[in-house]
């Protein structure tokens, strides 16, 4: 290898190939020296070429190495004080992953040498390890960013027309019989025609991928024979994880990911990434030294007053310090990279409140939000917050700034409570159904600020929500002590699988009730992969470590009836703009019609007044949605008009008689949906003021016939 080197440039950070060589650049503010280590991939036993980086511009160390290119393996060693009590944990015996690495070849192989201290030493992390870790750390890879996108452009599907589908890359296709075995569980499998056809038939507009940034599996999980299946343990914010690569791991995973995005875009499906910028996989002070900790611990992490320890707002042992300019730059550079180079359409930010913390309190005007708001690239994609962390004051549902949508945890809790018959106010149910104006309207946000969901990856699946009262996490190896014990679930009369047909019919109806409520609510619906056909995790509500049949989608056992119902339900939402309004309901008469855009009714057909909303025992109500009251214009400037709908909800366990409203709302109605039935479509016509009987725990949807 030609060892001639040049000064290079401090920017861009990372490893940048220009056709003749590679520029390497790394931020290490408190470091006293940096070595670039180049590894020969064809000679695994050969010693790496070590290049001392002599050029430093401000806090950035840089060097240019000619005559190397894509596929080159590399890592860093960084010199400085090993002084944990003052926040410094430099140890040149530890090979380190470049925070800006675009690809990482392989996965971590656990060994004591990966720790900056001597494992088992009585002084714990205050001791110093001189063991070399290079043999056990995956190497960074130089990549060629050129790619033929064939004119691919952002789809920019409006949020009010979006249906988000949360999935895990591997689990979605790992058991799919129509996808080649060697391709299953990969990025390529998500671009396979079978997958594309399924997503299009289902009717979703975007897939939200659980973390695909390169992550690590904790040692304690590996010792139990488990793994970090969900991926919330990032160590490389620019690198697509190799576990989902089917075409090679020395840079090929980058193009495989791009091919997936391009193919999904051609099918009209956006790609949203679940990203974890709040912490890294290095854990607390007793964790390994893999990247940030060894590069410059104090310049990346939030430390306590005693700088030996980490602020932990995430439950993972550490929190990245988004107050610092270099960390903000890392996050923004990563986001821009995934938008501009990888063509993704948006992000869901895990534990986003942790990013918003300035000193201790969550501050929605923090520098993190300021920088995103002014960025001409990042501000234009879909930005979704998980609006909580585990720290004090971390529950921030409804408090993120304009431009952000939020996972609406209050929607999830309210809808679950309503359908299991818990004591909850009808007023809150109405708020959640109509977009949660109580949470978002005061900040000039729209109903699309609410990402509505009944289930997510974390917790019970939809099937398990109606099949289990208690969590069953024994397979996780923590004596069933992990996971939330308050699930707002109901097993309908038996715990787990049963041969009781009456219970199974009730469970099927409850699933249809929950799905119908979700897709007819204002806001943006999010469906978890497999819920549309009854996927079960056997009662495990914390399957983060289950990379097996517990988590993988069981395509052979899917409930075709429920799948068909869900497809029809999504199509109903798509075809009727009344269910995906861009603006809030106003509750005032429409000019020239004299009817409000929305009205609420008791089962006897009488409009509800203020006194009815505070009842925590009421289970039954109806809502009128006026198709002439949408108050929005279509893309061509024409007024959006739809048919009117009358939706009757009966969460009571016995049948209830409903009287339809007066003729002014509609002289005649068509029943198009009844959750006691397995299909959606025109069933029968009924006149205004007619009486209808709703079965216990059911929904009936009527559409105006004229």
Residues with Cβ within 8 Å of residue 471, at least 6 apart in sequence: 460, 480, 483, 484, 485, 487, 539, 540, 541, 542
Q: Are strands 234-240 and 270-275 parallel, antiparallel or unpaired?
A: unpaired
> What is the rounded CA–CA span in Å between residue 297 and residue 291?
9
Q: Are strands 656-659 and 645-650 parallel, antiparallel or unpaired?
A: unpaired
Q: Are 105 and 236 in contact (CB under 8 A)?
A: no
| Per-residue tokens: 3 | 């060892």
Q: How many CB atoms lie within 10 A of CB 608?
A: 18
Distance of CA 430 to the CA centre of its chain: 26
- How many residues are recorded in the chain? 706
Torsion of CA 293, 298, 299, 300, to 10 degrees: 50
> What is the rounded CA–CA span in Å between residue 650 and residue 657?
10
Q: Are 92 and 76 in contact (CB under 8 A)?
A: no
- Which of helix, strand or coil describes residue 568? helix
Nearest to 60 by CA among 333, 274, 284, 315: 333
- H-assigned helices in 576-612: none
DSSP 175: T
Residues with Cβ within 8 Å of residue 548, at least 6 apart in sequence: none
- Which of helix, strand or coil describes residue 580? coil
The sheet with strand 21-27 has its strands ordered as 14-17, 21-27, 60-66, 55-57
Q: Taking the CA of residue 569 as centre, how many other CA atoms within 13 Å lie in the half-sphere pointing to its CB?
A: 30
Distance of CA 344 to the CA centre of its chain: 13
- H-assigned helices in 476-555: 501-519
> What is the rounded CA–CA span in Å between residue 614 and residue 612?
6
- H-assigned helices in 224-377: 252-266, 292-300, 325-340, 352-355, 367-374
Note if the bond before 12 is cis, omega within 30 degrees: yes
Instruction: List the catalytic residues.
Output: 350, 386
Q: Are 454 and 415 in contact (CB under 8 A)?
A: yes
């Amino acid at each position: 290898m030609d060892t001639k080197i040049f000064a290079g440039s401090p920017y861009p950070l990372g490893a940048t190939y220009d056709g003749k060589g590679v520029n390497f650049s790394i931020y290490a503010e408190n470091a006293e020296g940096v070595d670039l280590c180049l590894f020969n991939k064809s000679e695994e036993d050969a010693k790496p070429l070590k290049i001392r980086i002599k050029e430093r511009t401000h806090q950035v160390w840089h060097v240019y190495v000619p005559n190397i290119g894509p596929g080159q393996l590399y890592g860093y060693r960084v010199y400085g004080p090993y002084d944990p009590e003052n926040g410094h944990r430099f140890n040149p015996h530890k090979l380190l992953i470049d925070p800006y690495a675009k690809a990482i070849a392989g996965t971590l192989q656990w060994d004591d040498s990966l720790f900056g201290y001597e494992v088992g030493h009585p002084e714990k992390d205050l001791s110093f390890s001189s063991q070399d870790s290079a043999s056990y750390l995956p190497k960074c890879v130089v990549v060629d960013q050129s790619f033929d996108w064939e004119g691919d452009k952002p789809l920019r599907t409006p949020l009010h027309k979006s249906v988000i589908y949360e999935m895990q890359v591997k689990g979605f296709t790992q058991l799919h019989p129509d996808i080649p075995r060697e391709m299953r569980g990969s990025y390529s499998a998500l671009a396979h025609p079978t997958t594309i056809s399924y997503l299009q038939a289902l009717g979703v507009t975007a897939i939200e991928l659980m973390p695909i940034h390169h992550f690590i599996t904790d040692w304690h999980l590996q010792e139990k024979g488990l793994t970090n299946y969900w991926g919330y343990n990032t160590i490389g914010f620019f690198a697509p994880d190799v576990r989902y690569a089917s075409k090679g791991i020395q840079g090929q995973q980058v193009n495989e990911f791009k091919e997936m995005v391009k193919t999904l875009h051609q099918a009209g499906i956006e790609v949203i990434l679940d990203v974890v910028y709040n912490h890294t996989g290095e854990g607390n002070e007793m964790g390994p030294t893999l990247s940030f900790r060894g590069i410059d611990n104090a310049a990346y992490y939030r430390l306590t007053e005693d700088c030996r320890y980490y602020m932990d707002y995430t439950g993972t042992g550490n929190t990245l310090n988004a107050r610092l300019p270099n960390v903000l730059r890392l996050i923004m550079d990563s986001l821009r990279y995934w938008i501009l180079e990888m063509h993704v359409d948006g992000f869901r930010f895990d534990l986003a409140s942790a990013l918003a913390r300035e000193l201790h309190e969550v501050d929605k005007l923090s520098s993190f939000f300021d920088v995103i708001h002014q960025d001409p690239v990042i501000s234009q994609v879909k930005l979704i917050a998980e609006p909580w962390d585990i720290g004090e004051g971390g529950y921030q549902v409804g408090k993120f700034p304009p431009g952000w949508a939020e996972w609406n945890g209050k929607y999830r809790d309210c809808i679950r409570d309503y359908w299991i018959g818990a004591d909850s106010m009808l007023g809150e149910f109405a708020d959640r159904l109509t977009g949660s104006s109580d949470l978002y309207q005061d900040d000039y946000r729209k109903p699309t600020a609410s990402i509505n969901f009944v289930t997510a990856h974390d917790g019970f699946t939809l099937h398990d929500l109606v099949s289990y009262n208690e969590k069953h996490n024994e397979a996780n190896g923590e004596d069933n002590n992990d996971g939330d014990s308050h699930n707002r679930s109901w097993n309908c009369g038996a715990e787990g699988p049963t041969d009781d047909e009456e219970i199974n019919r009730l469970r099927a109806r409850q699933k249809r009730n929950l799905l119908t409520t979700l897709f007819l609510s204002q806001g943006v619906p999010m469906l978890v992969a497999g819920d549309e056909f009854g996927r079960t995790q056997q009662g495990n509500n914390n399957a983060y470590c289950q990379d097996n049949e517990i988590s993988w989608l069981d395509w052979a056992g899917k409930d075709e009836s429920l799948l068909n119902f869900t497809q029809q339900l999504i199509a109903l939402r798509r075809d009727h703009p009344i269910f995906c309004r861009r603006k809030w309901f106003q509750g005032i008469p429409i000019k020239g019609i004299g009817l409000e855009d929305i009205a609420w009714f008791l089962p006897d057909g009488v409009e509800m007044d203020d006194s009815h909303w505070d009842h925590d025992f009421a289970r039954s109500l109806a809502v009128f949605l006026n198709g002439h009251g949408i108050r929005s214009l279509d893309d061509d400037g024409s007024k959006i008009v739809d048919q009117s709908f009358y939706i009757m909800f009966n969460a009571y366990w016995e049948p209830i008689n409903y009287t339809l409203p007066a003729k002014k709302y509609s002289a005649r109605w068509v029943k198009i949906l009844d959750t006691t039935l397995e299909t959606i479509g025109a069933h029968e016509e009924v006149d205004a003021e007619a009486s209808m009987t709703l079965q216990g725990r059911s929904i009936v949807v009527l559409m105006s016939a004229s």
